[in-house]
Structure 1
Amino acid sequence: MTTDPKERAGIQSVEVGFSLLEALGHAAGPLMLRDLARAAGMSAAKAHRYLVSFQRLQLVVQDASSTRYDLGPAALKLGLAALERLDAVKLARERIAGLMEEIGHTLALAVWGNHGPTIVHWEEPPQAVTVNLRLGDVMPLLSSATGLCFAAHVPREAIAPMLKEEMARAQRQGRTDLPATLTEVRARLEEVRQRGSARVVDTLLPGIVGFCVPVFDSDGHMALGMVCMGPAGTFDAEFGGAVEGPLRAAAARLSSDLGWRG
């Protein structure tokens, strides 16, 4: 039997013991020994031996009255240190190439900047229809998927001036494809939150469909938006379809890696 050269020798007992920490991390609260051992797939006696060592390292604590186990201060320090070192945009950029190969359309990343949702990364497949957008462009809140997505998740006071200006401009231009009142805006943003993504068709650029899906950090704040757009003739515009489905799955994985537990 051949051994995968990428497989490196490790310490199996460390990997086994980690399953206890992982079980505590996924639990809704402190666990009794028997429940923790069951969740980690080992006997209570075996789990107890690991827990004794973990308590010495302060990775685990045991409540004296309830005898339940929970993650300790050392686990918290490690988690916080890892979160501080995470760069959401860097992690997202590392995944763009594989996602674009799966979806086959232009992908972008956007963050909330000083002037609103701002494009910070942009990649197009070779056969993509050129879209007249550039890095650093600030996206409108009402007519772009990116703007709608951010507007649905950032504080109201952050978007109030932009919304007022965009609604006034849309009224002057006689646009009927955009929300005309705050009530309509709030209904549209609630729909974005319920669906988990925003979509526009022909509202920002003629013949172009766009999706934007939020990525959340450990505090539940929107860290960035993952955007995909393409021509209506070849772009699957359905929620849960060949574009939005993989895009949403990628955003969910990234959110999880950033510590979001929603």
Structure 2
Amino acid sequence: MSSAELAPGAAAPGAGDEVPARPDPAGNKATARVLAVVAAFADGSPSLGVSELARRLGMTKSMVHRALATLLDEGYVVRDASGSRYQLGYRVLEFAGATGSAPELPELCAPYMREMYEITGETVTLAVRRGPVAVTVHGIEGRGPIARRVPIGRVVPLHVSAAARVILGHLDDAEVEEYLRDRVLEKVTPTTLGAADEVWEDVRTTRQQGYAFGLYDHAPSAFGVAFPVLDRVGRPYGSVTVSGPRDRLTPERLAGYLPALIAVADRLNRHSRLFRAPGKENGG
């Protein structure tokens, strides 16, 4: 460009100056649609469906789907318990400095548990820590004539079952040491961890991979994998476990599901990390 082509009074760009790129109109429109979808939830609607959003915003369903997919990936919306409608995700609290109180854990985990169920068709359960034990508090029963029941109220020590061991593995070293010092390690099955060095090895493995597999250490007829539900400092609220009959949910079959399950667990933890889990003073 010559100086003669510049508007009067404008300086020619220097050799080191960068001429700003023109905005991409298509990108601007896509961004505007994403923002419009977020704003649609501001009227207090507990959940919205794709068709409802399309009518309200004057968009096609495919436009709404694309906007929701972006927001879902980033954690700003989540599917509700039905799996067919959407609601604001807890990540929106980042805009307010995450000063709100933590939601009820079953409410927070329900959409992600539903996704894990849809991926596998197997039983999905939620457990919380209560001192030295894990308690099952919520779940979705698997499909098929043979399925693991949801054992609401089941209590197991933290060294027994994937659901409990993944919680133990995400406690700090001092808490693990305290747990091991204060009790005899009860063996529920022949494969239950029964020595401190076995527990520490399992803790290290769990921390490294981020989840815990079943060891047939509580229910010999079942196999599964458990993921921690962590707060903003990495402290466990509890765990979400996918499990099924060992004849159907084999280690090989579970390995095929694992990448998708890890992705769901990661999105769950993006939300749960906005809050602080109870400490020892609250029985956590």
- Identify whether the pair has TM-score above 0.5, normalized to the shorter chain: yes
CA–CA distance in 2 between the matches of 1:133 and 1:77? 37
Contact 2:113 2:124 in 1 (8 A): yes
Q: What letter matches 1:191 in structure 2?
A: T
Do residues 127 (structure 1) and 153 (structure 2) align? Answer: no
The answer for the alignment partner of 1:192 in structure 2 is 206
1:189 Cα deviation after fit: 0.7
Q: Secondary structure at the match of 2:157?
A: coil
CA distance in 1, matches of 2:252, 2:207: 16
- 1:88 aligns to 2:102 (yes or no): no
* 3-state DSSP of counterpart to 1:126: coil
Distance 1:176 1:76 in 2: 46
Counterpart among 153, 165, 178 of residue 136 in structure 1: 153
Partners of 1:152 and 1:241 lie apart in 2 by 21
Q: Please report how far the alpha carbon of residue 126 of structure 1 lies from its aligned counterpart in structure 2 after TM superposition.
A: 3.4
Matched positions, count: 191
SS at match of 1:243: helix
Query: Secondary structure, in 3 states, of the residue corresponding to 1:205?
Result: coil
Counterpart of 1:220 in structure 2 is: 234
Query: Is 1:78 the equivalent of 2:96?
Result: yes
In the TM superposition, residue 250 of structure 1 has moved relative to its aligned partner by 1.5
Q: Which residue identity does 1:134 align to in structure 2?
A: P
Structure 1 length normalisation: TM-score? 0.61
Cα distance in 2 for partners of 1:6, 1:85 equals 28
Deviation at 1:142, TM superposition (A): 2.7
Structure 2: tracts of 5 or more residues without a match = 1-50, 59-92, 275-284
Contact preservation (8 Å) 1:238, 1:244: no
Q: Which has the larger displacement, 117-126 or 95-104?
A: 95-104
Equivalent residue, structure 2, for 1:46: none
The answer on whether the counterparts of 2:223 and 2:243 sit within 8 Å (CA) in structure 1 is yes
* Matched position secondary structure for 2:214: strand
Partner SS for 1:210: strand
Q: Distance in 2 between matches of 1:139 and 1:188?
A: 17
Deviation sequence 1:133-184 (CA, Å, 0-9, x none): 62121123333001210110124454556545342x33xx8x7634443223
Amino acid at match of 1:124: E
Change (3 A) 1:196 1:128: farther
How far the C-alpha of 1:239 sits from its partner, in A, is 9.6
Deviations 1:96-117 (A, max 9, x none): 2332122110000011124521
| Separation (CA, whole Å) in 2 of partners of 1:115 and 1:186 | 16
Structure 1 equivalent of residue 169 of structure 2? 152
Aligned to 1:6: 53
Question: What is the CA deviation profile of residues 19-68 of structure 1, one whole-angstrom value per residue up to 9, with x for unaligned ones?
Answer: xxxxxxxxxxxxxxxxxxxxxxxxxxxxxxxxxxxxxxxxxxxxxxxxxx
Q: 2:220 aligns with which of 170, 188, 206?
A: 206
Instruction: Provide the C-alpha distance between the structure 2 equivalents of 1:221 and 1:238, rounded to a whole number of angstroms.
Output: 30
Q: Among the aligned pairs, what percent are the same residue?
A: 22
Moved over 4 A (4+): 156-162
Aligned equivalents of 1:177, 1:231: Cα separation in 2: 17
Deviations 1:63-112 (A, max 9, x none): xxxxxxxxxxxx9771223x425443312113323321221100000111
Residues 162-173 of structure 1 mapped to structure 2, 5 A cutoff: 162-163=179-180, 165-167=183-185, 169-170=186-187
Alignment of 1:52-131 (within 5 A): 78-81=96-99, 83-127=100-144, 129-131=146-148
1:245 to 243, 250, 259: 259
